[in-house]
Amino acid sequence: MKIIEKILEMQSIILNLKKKSKKIGFVPTMGALHEGHLSLIREARKENDIVVVSIFVNPIQFGPNEDLNKYPRTFESDKKNLEREKVDFLFFPTPMEMYPEGFETYVNLKKLPYHLCGLSRPGHFEGVATVVAKLFNIVMPDNAYFGQKDYQQAKIIERMVLDLNFKINIKIMPIVREKDGLAMSSRNSYLTTEERKKALCLYQALQKAKEMIEKGEIKIDVIKKEMEKTIKEIAPDANIDYIAIVHPDTLSELSVVEKRVVVALAVFIGSTRLIDNFIIERS
Ligand code: PAF
């Protein structure tokens, strides 16, 4: 695997590969790789000639009181994992390379960021859309892979790709979970043993919603109350950021369950903010 730190070098390698009609698969990450990331990389490996992974802890998607400085940085083990998965190129730029002096162009969406996580993380999705647009212009992939765990992020990227005419297929891959159901996340490493047990409340609350919908419950306020009860039973001191049942494309909150909905939540376990979601189809 070749490690590339410079934008111009990455672009010139890609342009050469494109001349040879190679299909490029791309997995953008912030490192601290886990099985969730590896599942995206494996899919990219299956569907493309060349696989590029980026590791870049993007400063502009973190709010002033968020975890930019303590975000896990595990470069050596990430590198081993990427080599094991036969990744061809690791793009590993510095913040200065991505945002040099004078940088002032940002990508903003009008509606999708103003739901779910966007409400409590102002500016987050502007940071995500901006860095992903830049990475797409640098890596010029045919296919790019994102996890369903960051459902809102994936929808925002899909919209941005349509609106800005990137010729890239966006593939949203299923959430990878620990044996007990906890969604894999780089932030799980912040949890103490006690918090790790409590973190299961997100998955259990989603299971509760699924059961209720399968039994025919359609009133969303009723489902949300039961989800909250489940969370408080497992983690009485958890701080619920939001529980929402939304339209899968617009992300607007619903009052009754429609044919296909996304049940999503964000919960603070101690100081760690965890997110999870289920896509549920009503039979
Ligand atoms: O999901 C992530 O890890 C990040 O938000 C991404 C897409 C790599 C952009 O920084």
User: Where do the structural domains in the chain lie, given as residue ranges?
Assistant: 2-173, 186-278
Q: Which residue, by CA, sits nearest to atom 3 of ligand 1?
A: 29
What residues are paired with 171 via a beta bridge?
145
Q: Which residue, by CA, sits nearest to atom 8 of ligand 1?
A: 29
**In this structure, are residues 245 and 254 in contact, taking their beta carbons and an 8 Å threshold?**
yes
Q: Supply 103's token pair.
A: 């940088």
Catalytic choice (37, 115, 124, 247): 37
Active site residue 34: no
3-class state of residue 91 by DSSP? strand
CA 260 to chain centre: 21
Q: Which residue, by CA, sits nearest to atom 9 of ligand 1?
A: 128
Identify the residue whose tokens are 């009133």: 219
Considering only CA atoms, which of 157, 202, 207, 198 is closest in space to residue 26?
157
So what's the pLDDT on residue 170?
A: 99
CATH superfamily name and code, 186-278: Pantoate-beta-alanine ligase, C-terminal domain (3.30.1300.10)
Q: Which residue, by CA, sits nearest to atom 5 of ligand 1?
A: 128
> Does the pTM of the predicted model rise above 0.95?
yes
Element (H, E) at 4: strand 2-4
So what's the pLDDT on residue 283?
A: 83
So what's the pLDDT on residue 199?
A: 98
Residue 130, ligand 1, Cβ within 6 A: no
Q: Give just the sign of the alpha carbon dihedral 80, 85, 88, 91.
A: negative
| Gap from CA of 31 to ligand 1 centroid (Å) | 9
Element (H, E) at 98: helix 95-98
For the chain, 283 residues long, the average pLDDT of each consecutive 10-residue run is: 99 98 98 98 98 98 97 98 98 98 98 98 98 99 99 98 98 98 98 98 98 98 98 98 98 98 98 98 90
**For domain 2-173, which CATH number applies: 3.40.50.620, 2.60.40.10, 1.10.3720.10, 3.90.700.10?**
3.40.50.620
Dist CA 268 CA 243 (whole Å): 12
Beta-strand ranges (E) seen in 8-166 are 24-29, 50-55, 89-91, 143-147
| Gap from CA of 153 to ligand 1 centroid (Å) | 8
What contacts 24+ positions apart, CB below 8 Å, involve 174-182? 174/39, 174/148, 175/36, 175/147, 175/148, 175/149, 175/276, 175/277, 176/34, 176/35, 176/36, 176/39, 176/147, 177/203, 181/207
Residue 30, ligand 1, Cβ within 6 A: yes
Q: What does the angle CA 146 – CA 19 – CA 147 come to, to the nearest 5 degrees?
A: 5
Dist CA 251 CA 78 (whole Å): 33
So what's the pLDDT on residue 200?
A: 98
Identify the residue whose tokens are 């509760």: 208
Q: Give just the sign of the alpha carbon dihedral 243, 247, 248, 251.
A: negative
Residue 58, ligand 1, Cβ within 6 A: yes
